[in-house]
Chains A and B, each alone.
Chain A
Amino acid sequence: MKRKLVALLGLLLGVALGITLLMLNPISLSQAAPAGLSGAVRVLDWHSGGGFRGMAMTPGALLGWSGNAAAFADPALRHARVEIVVLDDDAGGESVLGVRLSAVATQDSLLQARLGVTTAWNLVWPGRGSVMLAGSENAWPVLRDGLWAFVRGHGFRPGQDLYSLPPLPGAGAPALVSGSGSFEGLRGSFREDFQPLDSRPGDLIGSRQLNLATE
């Protein structure tokens, strides 16, 4: 009986150590840098979690654990999401109509600290023109901090006020693909910052800033 208890304790400690190793593995540190921005940066504020359809933005959904009432029934769209939002210019410029299409990334890997989505944005300035953006975001830092808080008995609660979500390795740097109208010929990059909601700390929804850099 004593041997079994020792074996069980050893196994449990080993599993805990294994999870810690996975969460803090050196790969996750080397790919934690958010996308760099160069040129004039326009900050657009929006709120994720309102007018959407598709998969939930939770760590569980990224791991394939949960469905939700808003998910698409079509098998090809089970892990896809669409949001239509109004983005407000931090500098007081005109508001922007945006549509964000996203899907669980095919690059995801627990061993390589990758758990995120690929994204495609279309931003439209009424009467002026539009830009299209292609990128990705790795939610691993949020998951890691949430698990760490959970281990310490604080519930699944990511600790930082603001996360600059890094792109997924292998998915390319987030980029401004093209522009039309007043934005024709523009090139640039972008980064999304994310502020978890106090009321739903584990979810990947809440206030977001889209930092759009143009050259």
Chain B
Amino acid sequence: MARLFYTCVFVGVVLTVLAAAVYPLPGHLRQRSIINVVPDGGREEIFAVHWPEDRVQLLPVADGRAPEAMGAAAVLRGADGRPASVEVFRLRDAEDRVIGLASRSTTALAAAAQGSDWVLLVPSRGSLFLHQLNSRDVAPASRVADAPAGPAAESPAFWQGRRQWRITAGPAAGGTGGITGGTGEFAGLAGNYDEVWQLEPDAGAGSQGRIVLTTRVGMPR
């Protein structure tokens, strides 16, 4: 009887360890990466955000301090009144499949120029970090005095009759933004990128279209 008991104890230990080895922990859906080789030897990958449907609205804050909400953007003002803003979007690949999340922060930098950071999180691949100087004022709080604060893309004054703006204006060569780092499959990548807004402003003070991030890696920054 004692042998049976100890045998069953051993079997129980082995079964538990085996169960832990084969337990299906959560995994991430992986879409095929769409990467093009460009003529100078670098690699190009395009990411896109559908405006406005890919904006992510967060749950209200129950505990802790909350930033000011301006539409889907969160805003915090410094002691001198200058704002910083953050927006979060679903991130799509070149075939418009949702592959991750993207955050975009904007604030005036010390030298008075306005800059933005993009953090792209593709759960199955890793994170990619981008930084740029802006060609246009894209902060949500920077609308004209008599208009309600909101995203720059929803202001007809922003567009000046155009349907497309290249937002990136440096600091890398050619007025491109810089890829500043990455993790997972994006670790060690160096390169540059452009952010372009392709939107159709409409009469209702809204807009629709795409924000396109074209990244190029394996090229000098």
Contacts and interface: CB of A to CB of B under 8 A. Distances in A.
User: What's the interface size class on A, roughly?
Assistant: 35 or more
Contact of B88 (A82, A118, A127): A82
Interface string A13-31: 1111111011000000000
Contact of B5 (A9, A79, A128): A9
Interface in A147-190: 171-172, 177-178, 180-182
Interface in A121-145: 121-122, 124-130, 132, 134
A47 B16 contact: no
A95 interface: yes
Contact of A172 (B28, B60, B117, B187): B187
Interface in A58-94: 62-64, 70, 72, 74-80, 82-86, 88, 94
A86 B69 CA distance: 12
A2 B1 CA distance: 9
Contacts of B122: 76
Interface in B66-119: 66-67, 74-80, 82-86, 88, 90, 97-101, 103, 105, 107-111, 115, 117, 119
B58 interface: yes
A64 B63 contact: no
B111 A110 contact: no
A-B complex: 5 closest residue pairs judged by Cβ atoms: A14-B12, A18-B16, A47-B64, A10-B8, A127-B82
A104 B12 contact: no
A184 to B, nearest CB: 8
A177 B25 CA distance: 29
B81 to A, nearest CB: 8
A7 B14 CA distance: 15
A155 B66 CA distance: 32
A6 B4 contact: yes
Given A50-B63, A84-B74, 11 more contacts: A6-B5, A10-B9, A22-B16, A77-B123, A88-B65, A97-B86, A120-B127, A126-B77, A127-B83, A127-B108, A181-B115
Interface string A34-46: 0000000000001
Interface in B1-21: 1, 4-17, 20-21
A88 to B, nearest CB: 7
A62, A64, A110, A130 pick with most chain B CB within 10 angstroms:
A130
Interface of A: 2-3, 6-19, 21-22, 46-47, 49-53, 62-64, 70, 72, 74-80, 82-86, 88, 94-97, 99, 101-104, 106, 108-111, 115, 118, 120-122, 124-130, 132, 134, 171-172, 177-178, 180-182
Nearest to B65: A86
A70 B61 CA distance: 13
Contacts of B6: 10
Contact of B180 (A49, A129, A132): A132
A107 to B, nearest CB: 10
A70 B80 CA distance: 35
22 contacts: A3-B4, A9-B8, A10-B6, A10-B9, A15-B13, A18-B12, A22-B16, A49-B63, A76-B122, A83-B58, A84-B74, A84-B88, A97-B86, A99-B74, A111-B21, A120-B129, A129-B107, A129-B110, A130-B131, A172-B187, A177-B181, A180-B109
Contact of B12 (A13, A75, A108): A13
B196 interface: no
Contacts of B29: 75-76, 78
Given A3-B1, A77-B101, A86-B66, A11 B107 contact: no
